[in-house]
């Protein structure tokens, strides 16, 4: 039981990391970036590539993956969202063009790596197991949880307490007013996508590190649960995404233990609907990056 709880927390921290990147873009820019799962998948492959070809150690790997993700995010916004600005159907069109961007990214990964799963080098990360009162925990899991917490708290701090965060909140509330005050809204938009995609790629790389490999369906495996996390947490809420990620991670792990792994999705999504019925705006619907 405790062991499953712990496993759920570790999985949940990756869900949360995936979800905060997605919810950040929505909270600040009111855009739904459906390329996020593809960015997540690409993060895993970039991690494997850098570890195998360049032999980057773990401490350098994560920043490098984040940097690649940041660049991808800027590019994504430039090609899939910015050209649509001002159109009547800009929101719907953005959904479609981000799906397209994600499709291109996945196709490119397939062209490069084929359909076979790619693996991290054996013994890439010390496979050490710790025991805490009967619960077995790998070093990788601890690193994942720690990194996820640091990144999520770091993001929350950035949004609440830095000039960049202040500008982001201003854009979230009223882009026109922010512009008039001298905020470079184009830069804030690029920056938001860079952060979001950096978090997404790191989440992907961490998942791949935990399971040792990645294939092109990695993003699809987290997509639905990740979006459920976002809705349960309250779209646009950073704290909500963090809490909901952990809750769904644990719920999934417990389902696998007490029922069967085929029930995994069912319980997670039943939870989604239960929360939506009880709290239609999500767990943290009131505490948002942007007020509704």
State the residues that interact with other proteins by CB under 8 A: 163, 166-167, 169-170, 173-174, 176-186, 290-291
* β-pairing verdict for 129-132 and 118-119: unpaired
Q: Residues, the chain, total?
A: 292
Which CB sits closer to other proteins, 185 or 221? 185
Rounded to a whole number of angstroms, the minimum distance from the CB of residue 188 to other proteins is 10
Rounded to a whole number of angstroms, the minimum distance from the CB of residue 167 to other proteins is 7
Which CB sits closer to other proteins, 174 or 261? 174
* Phi then psi dihedrals of residue 276, to 5 deg: -65, -35
Rounded to a whole number of angstroms, the minimum distance from the CB of residue 283 to other proteins is 20
How far the first Cα of the chain sits from its last, in Å, is 39
Rounded to a whole number of angstroms, the minimum distance from the CB of residue 182 to other proteins is 3
- Reading the block at residue 263, the tokens are 């029930």
Q: Could you give the 3-state DSSP secondary structure of residue 164?
A: helix
Radius of gyration for the chain, computed over Cα atoms and rounded to the nearest angstrom:
19
Rounded to a whole number of angstroms, the minimum distance from the CB of residue 231 to other proteins is 22
Which run of H or of E encompasses 210? helix 185-211
What are the beta bridge partners of residue 169?
A: none
Q: How many CA atoms lie within 13 A of 110 on its CB side?
A: 11
Rounded to a whole number of angstroms, the minimum distance from the CB of residue 282 to other proteins is 18
Which CB sits closer to other proteins, 172 or 229? 172
Which CB sits closer to other proteins, 3 or 161? 161
Q: Could you give the 3-state DSSP secondary structure of residue 181?
A: coil
Rounded to a whole number of angstroms, the minimum distance from the CB of residue 286 to other proteins is 12
Q: Could you give the 3-state DSSP secondary structure of residue 73?
A: helix
Which CB sits closer to other proteins, 184 or 261? 184
Which CB sits closer to other proteins, 179 or 281? 179
Q: How many CB atoms lie within 10 A of CB 134?
A: 7
Which CB sits closer to other proteins, 47 or 165? 165
Rounded to a whole number of angstroms, the minimum distance from the CB of residue 261 to other proteins is 43
* β-pairing verdict for 118-119 and 213-214: antiparallel
Which CB sits closer to other proteins, 260 or 291? 291
Of 211, 202, 13, 18, whose CA–CA distance to 124 is shortest?
211
Question: Are the C-beta atoms of residues 172 and 106 closer than 8 Å to each other?
Answer: no
């Amino acid at each position: 039981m405790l062991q499953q709880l712990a496993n759920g927390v570790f999985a949940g921290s990756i869900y949360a990391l995936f979800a905060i990147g997605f919810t950040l873009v929505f909270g600040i820019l009111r855009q739904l970036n459906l390329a996020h799962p593809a960015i997540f998948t690409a993060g895993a492959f970039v991690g494997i590539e850098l570890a195998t070809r360049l032999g980057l150690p773990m401490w350098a790997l994560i920043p490098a993956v984040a940097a690649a993700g940041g660049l991808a995010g800027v590019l994504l916004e430039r090609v899939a969202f910015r050209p649509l600005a001002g159109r009547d159907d800009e929101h719907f069109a953005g959904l479609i063009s981000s799906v397209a961007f994600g499709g291109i990214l996945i196709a490119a990964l397939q062209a490069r790596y084929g359909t076979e799963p790619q693996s991290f080098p054996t013994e890439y990360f010390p496979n050490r197991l710790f025991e805490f009162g009967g619960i077995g925990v790998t070093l990788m899991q601890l690193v994942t949880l720690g990194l996820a917490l640091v990144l999520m708290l770091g993001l929350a701090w950035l949004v609440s307490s830095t000039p960049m965060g202040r500008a982001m909140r201003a854009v979230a509330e009223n882009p026109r007013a922010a512009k008039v005050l001298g905020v470079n809204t184009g830069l804030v938009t690029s920056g938001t996508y860079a952060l979001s995609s950096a978090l997404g790629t790191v989440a992907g790389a961490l998942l791949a590190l935990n399971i040792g490999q990645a294939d092109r369906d990695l993003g699809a495996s987290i997509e639905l649960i990740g979006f459920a996390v976002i809705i349960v947490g309250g779209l646009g809420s950073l704290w909500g995404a963090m809490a909901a990620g952990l809750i769904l991670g644990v719920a999934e792990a417990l389902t696998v233990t007490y029922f069967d792994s085929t029930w995994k999705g069912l319980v997670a999504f039943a939870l989604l609907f239960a929360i939506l019925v009880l709290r239609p705006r999500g767990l943290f619907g009131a505490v948002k990056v942007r007020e509704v």
